[in-house]
């Protein structure tokens, strides 16, 4: 990690050494502008407070060693923050027509997620993930990218605060040190198709390829997808990916709904129906009717299309298949939302203020 970070900092260190040499060769009055330039350069490079930057430069005799010391302190502080909850952040998607990668990287606050350095990090990791080959797949689900393999890949953020090629692991650590927050690469997936195309939809997107919620799916075409038919497929795929984000399907079709999910919902519906005081035969009919509606709500193909509820997703695929004179199906689908499944820390600010006042 130190070697990679040192390589990325070569330009900055060279400038520091040159400025520091000039600063030490003049009187304190004459070198004031050089010292100001050193403070400015180190502040921009590390993101550290001006007070800390100036104090360390003075401590190091206005030498370039201050840069190394600041980085060391920043990385040490980042390691101490690794246990703090990081439930904000961004999802980044990189794709071509046949393959897509989706990555979630977390921060502690939305403020850091809006930082251009953090956004560069997310985009760079997604592009690296798209090239990753270590993954394991499952029916109707995306391929899971091995995080250790992904962290070993090289990235170049091309950002003033982090220049040069480093590993994904080191880039995440550097951004954590610069932003002062716990930054984590949480998960990464890859989705591909051999006979169709991959479609995506990004919701609440601050920049192309970034979002807080994303949907990915593959449209598979019987016999492959000729170029002249790809436009229709792209439009259909984008619409269905948007539907995926909005409707949150859990299973591809009613046949894919697991018995565990059905039994759990049946028990809940039965408990609710029994409170009506109606006969058991009526309760059973109520439960089965509501269970059918539940399946229609969680099975992708059975869902009513969010743009036009007179159609179902299956109906849309049937219409496209008829138009292309080829069977078009959904192969895999995946919906990802920032922070889902992470237990967030809920603070009682009123209690904190009261405690400080007492």
| Residue predicted with more confidence, 345 or 155 | 155
Q: Are 193 and 336 in contact (CB under 8 A)?
A: no
Instruction: For the chain, give the mean pLDDT.
Output: 81
For residue range 263-287, list pLDDT tens digits in order: 999 999 999 988 888 888 898 999 9
Alpha-carbon gap, residue 168 to 147, rounded angstroms? 10
% the chain with pLDDT above 90? 49
Q: What is the side-by-side strand order in the sheet with 141-145?
A: 135-138, 141-145, 184-192, 99-107, 88-95, 210-211
Q: Are 178 and 47 in contact (CB under 8 A)?
A: yes
Q: Measure the N-to-C terminal CA separation of the chain; round to a whole number of Å.
A: 46
Q: Are 108 and 182 in contact (CB under 8 A)?
A: yes
CA dist list (Å): 203 to 218, 231, 236, 246, 306: 18, 22, 17, 9, 15
**According to the model, what pLDDT value does residue 36 have?**
74
For residue range 302-320, list pLDDT tens digits in order: 999 999 999 999 999 999 9
For residue range 212-245, list pLDDT tens digits in order: 999 999 999 998 877 777 889 999 999 999 999 9
Please state the pTM of the whole predicted model: 0.75
Over 80: is that where the pLDDT of 100 sits? yes
**According to the model, what pLDDT value does residue 24 have?**
44
Alpha-carbon gap, residue 53 to 47, rounded angstroms? 9
Over 50: is that where the pLDDT of 16 sits? no
Q: Are 39 and 19 in contact (CB under 8 A)?
A: no
Partners of residue 312 on adjacent β-strands: 304
For residue range 18-52, list pLDDT tens digits in order: 444 434 443 344 356 666 776 666 666 655 556 66
Over 50: is that where the pLDDT of 324 sits? yes
Partners of residue 304 on adjacent β-strands: 312
Over 90: is that where the pLDDT of 108 sits? yes
């Amino acid at each position: 990690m130190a070697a990679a970070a040192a390589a990325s900092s070569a330009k900055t260190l060279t400038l520091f050494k040159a400025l520091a040499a000039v600063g030490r060769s003049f009187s304190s009055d004459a070198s004031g502008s050089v010292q100001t330039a050193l403070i400015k350069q180190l502040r921009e490079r590390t993101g550290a407070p001006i007070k800390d930057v100036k104090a360390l430069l003075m401590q190091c005799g206005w030498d370039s060693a201050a840069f190394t010391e600041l980085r060391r302190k920043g990385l040490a502080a980042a390691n101490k923050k690794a246990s703090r909850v990081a439930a904000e952040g961004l999802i980044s998607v990189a794709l071509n027509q046949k393959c897509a990668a989706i990555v979630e990287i977390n921060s502690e606050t939305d403020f850091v997620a809006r930082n251009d350095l953090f956004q560069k990090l997310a985009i760079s990791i997604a592009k690296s993930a798209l090239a990753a080959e270590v993954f394991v797949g499952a029916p109707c689900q995306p391929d899971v990218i091995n995080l250790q393999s992904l962290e070993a890949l090289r990235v170049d953020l091309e950002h003033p605060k982090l220049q040069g090629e480093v590993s994904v692991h080191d880039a995440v650590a550097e951004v954590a040190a610069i932003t002062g927050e716990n930054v984590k690469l949480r998960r990464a997936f890859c989705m591909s198709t051999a006979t169709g195309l991959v479609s995506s939809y990004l919701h609440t997107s601050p920049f192309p390829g970034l979002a807080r919620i994303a949907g990915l799916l593959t449209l598979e075409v019987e016999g492959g997808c000729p170029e002249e038919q790809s436009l229709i497929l792209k439009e259909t795929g984008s619409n269905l990916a948007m539907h995926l984000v909005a409707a949150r399907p859990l299973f591809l079709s009613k046949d894919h709904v697991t018995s565990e999910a059905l039994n759990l919902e049946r028990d809940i519906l039965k408990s609710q129906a029994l409170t009506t005081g109606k006969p058991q035969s009526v309760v059973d009919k109520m439960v089965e009717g509501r269970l059918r509606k539940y399946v229609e709500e969680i099975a992708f193909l059975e869902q009513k299309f969010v743009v036009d509820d007179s159609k179902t997703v299956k109906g849309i695929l049937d219409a496209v298949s008829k138009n292309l004179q080829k069977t078009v199906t959904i192969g895999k689908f995946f919906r990802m939302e920032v922070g889902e499944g992470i237990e967030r820390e809920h603070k009682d600010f009123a209690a904190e203020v009261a405690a400080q006042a007492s």
